[in-house]
Amino acid sequence: MEHLKLQWRKLNGEKILIPIADEVVNILAKERESGHELKVCIGTDSQVKGTVTEFATVIVFIRKGKGGFMYICNEVSHQKMSIKQRMLVEAAKSVDVAFALCNIFSRFSVSMEVHADINTNPGFKSNDALKEAMGYIVGMGFDFKAKPQAFASSSCANKVVQ
């Protein structure tokens, strides 16, 4: 839940000045009024730069046949982590957001997926965290996607991790 108190912004940099849950309710009402059918994908990516790990979590709204938009939250950690630990922290950040917003999505009949930036190919180091991340996300009741289908984390969040 602490994740939702952090600063969220739009892709254009505009800061969200109200709680993200309120913003999501407002945007879902507006999109419904415009006749758009939506799907939401939540994902997190990270980059290690020296002693700092930077995370970006995104909430991606996809308008069926009409593009999409996203909200972004960036965070920084000074904790040293193994790649497996970092992948699980990414999954946990995404689940925190999904859990906090899932009742809103249900109320608006919007399907939601949680995307993990974890490779399904065992030849990649991130694959070490695949079973645990998938178990956690699915165990929390969410639809799970990993690479290459996990575009929210591997493409969208990847582009905005600072």
| Helix segments in 41-129, DSSP class H | 83-107
CB 98 within 8 A of CB 105: no
Does the pLDDT of residue 59 top 50, yes or no? yes
Percent of the chain whose predicted confidence (pLDDT) is above 90: 79
Q: What is the pLDDT of residue 122?
A: 85
Name the nearest CA neighbour of 118 among 142, 86, 143, 81. Answer: 86
Q: Which residues pair with 18 in a beta bridge?
A: none
Q: What is the pLDDT of residue 162?
A: 65
Q: Which residues pair with 111 in a beta bridge?
A: 39
What is the token pair recorded at 73?
A: 């939250």
d(CA 151, CA 155): 5
d(CA 62, CA 50): 35
Does the pLDDT of residue 41 top 50, yes or no? yes
Structural domains of the chain, count = 1
**Among the listed ranges 30-34, 124-128, 158-162, which one has the minimum average pLDDT value?**
158-162
Does the pLDDT of residue 52 top 80, yes or no? yes
pLDDT band, residue 161 (cuts 50/70/90)? confident
Does the pLDDT of residue 2 top 60, yes or no? no
Structural domain boundaries, residue 111: 2-160
What's 7's DSSP letter?
Answer: P
What average pLDDT is seen over the chain?
92
Environment class of 46 (CB within 10 Å of its CB; exposed 0-12, middle 13-18, buried 19+): buried
Q: What is the pLDDT of residue 1?
A: 40
What is the full DSSP assignment across 99-141? Answer: HHHHHHHHHTT-EEEEEEEEESSTTSGGGGGHHHHHHHHHHTT
Give per-residue pLDDT as tens, 125-154. 888 889 999 999 999 999 999 988 998 988
Residues composing the chain: 162
Q: What is the pLDDT of residue 5?
A: 63
Average pLDDT estimate for 39-57: 95
